[in-house]
């Protein structure tokens, strides 16, 4: 097998998984560096909230956000407070439940940050030729589909625990 013009040995499943884990951590670190340019973490918080909403197909409570993020409820409230003050999120009471929703202004801000991030990703993808980009994207989607199915089962288990 040839990679970047170098001959490489065929890796075992475990070796491939170890290399993939390393790549995932490097991607996560790159995301973290990008997010750290966002002084108040607006993109990270709104993006994470939007992702969870879309996966669960409904708004989340502060308790659910805490459970999914690993933060304590008071810390989630502390992180959300500046976004609420800027009108980017709002708390909406439905019966006895209080959900956190992204406002129109929040979606607009998220889209601005997202476009900036897309420009950075596009520049990185330009290091690949058209065939490499297509191969990279199709393989990444396939792997993420499998991982997300596992994550969705985990999310369902987390929400099922609360509704019991």
Structural domain containing residue 48 = 40-127
Does the residue 101 lie in any domain? yes
Does the residue 80 lie in any domain? yes
CB of 9 closer than 8 Å to CB of 52 = no
- Report the distance separating Cα 6 and Cα 8, nearest Å: 6
CB of 89 closer than 8 Å to CB of 50 = no
Considering its fold, how many domains does the chain have in total? Answer: 1
Determine the average pLDDT of the residues in 59-65. Answer: 90
Name the pTM for this structure: 0.63
CATH number at residue 51: 1.10.10.10
Q: DSSP assignment of 6-37, as one string?
A: EE-PPPPHHHHHHHHHHHHHHHHHHHHHHHHT
**Model pLDDT for residues 75-105, shown as the tens digit of each residue:** 888 989 999 999 999 999 989 999 999 999 9
- Report the distance separating Cα 43 and Cα 113, nearest Å: 6
Confidence grade of residue 7 (pLDDT, cut at 50, 70, 90): low
Does the residue 132 lie in any domain? no
Buried/exposed 98-120: b ≥16 CB within 10 Å, e otherwise = ebbebbeebeebbeebeeebeee
């Amino acid at each position: 097998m040839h990679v970047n013009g170098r001959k490489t040995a065929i890796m075992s499943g475990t070796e491939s998984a170890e290399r993939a884990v390393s790549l995932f951590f490097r991607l996560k670190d790159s995301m973290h560096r990008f997010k750290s340019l966002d002084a108040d973490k607006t993109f990270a918080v709104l993006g994470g909230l939007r992702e969870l909403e879309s996966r669960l197909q409904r708004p989340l409570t502060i308790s659910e956000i805490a459970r999914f993020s690993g933060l304590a409820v008071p810390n989630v409230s502390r992180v959300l407070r500046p976004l609420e003050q800027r009108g980017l999120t709002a708390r909406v009471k439905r019966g006895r439940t209080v959900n956190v929703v992204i406002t129109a202004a929040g979606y607009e801000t998220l889209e601005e940050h997202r476009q900036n991030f897309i420009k950075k990703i596009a520049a990185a993808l330009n290091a690949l030729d058209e065939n490499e980009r297509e191969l990279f994207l199709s393989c990444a989607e396939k792997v993420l589909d499998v991982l997300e199915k596992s994550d969705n089962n985990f999310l369902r288990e987390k929400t099922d625990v609360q509704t019991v």
